Amino acid sequence: MNIEARHSPENSPLALKPTSIPGVYSFVPPPRGTDLTKASRSTLLKHGVLLRRPDPEKEPRRYALWSKFVTEIWTEENFVEPIFSPGRDVPHLSNMGNKGLNPDGNYLSYGWSGVVVVGKWVGAMGVWQVPTVSKPATPIGPNSKWWSSSWVGLDGAAGLIPGNHTTDVLQAGIEQAVAPDGTASYFAWYEWFVVNPSAAVVSQYPYVKVTTIASIPVKAGDEISVVVQYVKAKGDEIGNPRPPAGPYSFGGILLVNMTTNKAVNLYLTPPPGSSLLGETAEWIMECPVGANGGTLPKFTPIEFNDAGACNVLDAPPAAYLGVELQKADTTEFQDASGIIETKVSGSLGRVNISYSG
């Protein structure tokens, strides 16, 4: 059986419908009148609510976000058919690109700035405001724009942290760019990056490149929520209230504009070259063309709130590390001129990234 048939809706217990991109399916909301706040775990998963129900007393903010999603956003009335388009030829990097260590022990990167937590992760999430970007003092990079990208992902830190083996990244977020005349632009995107995909792989799995989510407009100041997760297939305990062990059969991406109450909730067939190992989770501000001498635009500080990663069975101590991001590895972006353009810190359930270029 080929991979597309094995991951098709006909072989899944999930409520899915095809999109314009082969291999990408949209979860669909439940029928009108369904109360997802009281639904079973299997019903929630069927309709793409991959994040477990947070404890309203121990996790009040996360529960408020979850409740808003299942009661206001992910409804039959608010559902928008996903519309995709190519990601404007923005090249993302395969990993952070290790440039060594700062004197303070932080990593330096030619592409990424943010926090990476090492473990055995099944999912990661974060909520942040789209930053305002503007022209910096640094020279413009390739593609005649200053590019930046804020995102949440899984498995992206190969080549930076010793012992990390993954070479792919399941990720979603917001692209922010500034043109030479100072005009800023923003768009939502997702990608399942793999290293050096062949033309045949790109043709069959176009989301190995940055893919714009045209049906979710964004602007500076919008509150964005992203969840990326590996999920098992039919017959593999999809009703388990905690993420089960692998092997996993597909990737789930949920990107919500909390300001406009619009969302996409996607099921992705793994492209060749994907590992689904879950060795790292990351919260990043990226200079997509950093390896080619790019520089970031100026940006207002980003704070990823409700930032965390869940591991297999969500068990301690690794589960605690998934939110204790002050203990995680940080990396700062250094441009081709040697200027460190960002400052990063992690705390409990938060990642802060500011521009210092």
- The answer to whether residue 43 scores a pLDDT higher than 50 is yes
41 has a pLDDT exceeding 90: no
Q: Looking at the 3D structure of the chain, how many domains does it have? A: 1
Residue 158 resides in a domain = yes
Whether residue 296 is contained in a domain is answered as yes
Q: Does residue 116 fall inside a structural domain? A: yes
Res 312: pLDDT: 67
Q: Look at residue 330 and tell me if it is in a domain.
A: yes
Q: What average pLDDT does range 82-86 have in this prediction? A: 89
Domain membership flag for residue 166: yes
- On the question of pLDDT at 235 being above 60, the answer is no
Predicted pLDDT at 80: 87
Higher pLDDT, 336 or 332: 332
pLDDT, tens digit, 9 for 90 and up, residues 293-328:
788 999 999 999 999 998 866 666 667 778 999 999
Check pLDDT > 50 for residue 213: yes
**Range(s) of the domain holding residue 304:** 84-231+272-355
Query: Does residue 12 register a pLDDT over 90?
Result: no
Tell me: the pLDDT tens digits for 113-150?
999 998 888 889 999 999 999 999 888 876 788 999 99
The answer to whether position 52 is within a domain reads: no
Can you give the CATH number for the domain in which 350 is found? 2.60.120.700
CB burial of residue 161 (10 Å; 0-12, 13-18, 19+): middle
Residue 351 lies in a domain: yes
Residue 105 reports pLDDT greater than 80: no
3 pLDDT higher than 50:
no
pTM of the full predicted structure?
A: 0.90
pLDDT beyond 60 at 7: no
Question: 10 Å Cβ neighbour count for 338?
Answer: 8
pLDDT of residue 58: 85
Do 255 and 283 touch, CB atoms closer than 8 A? no
Residue 154 has pLDDT above 90, yes or no: yes
Higher pLDDT, 189 or 52: 189
Predicted confidence at residue 262, as pLDDT, reads 93
Mean pLDDT in the chain?
Answer: 84
Q: What is the pLDDT of residue 218?
A: 97
User: 34-48, 87-101, 251-265: which range is least confident on average?
Assistant: 87-101
Mean local confidence (pLDDT), 230-256: 67
25-39, 101-115, 118-132, 171-185: range with lowest mean pLDDT: 101-115
In a domain, 39, yes or no: no
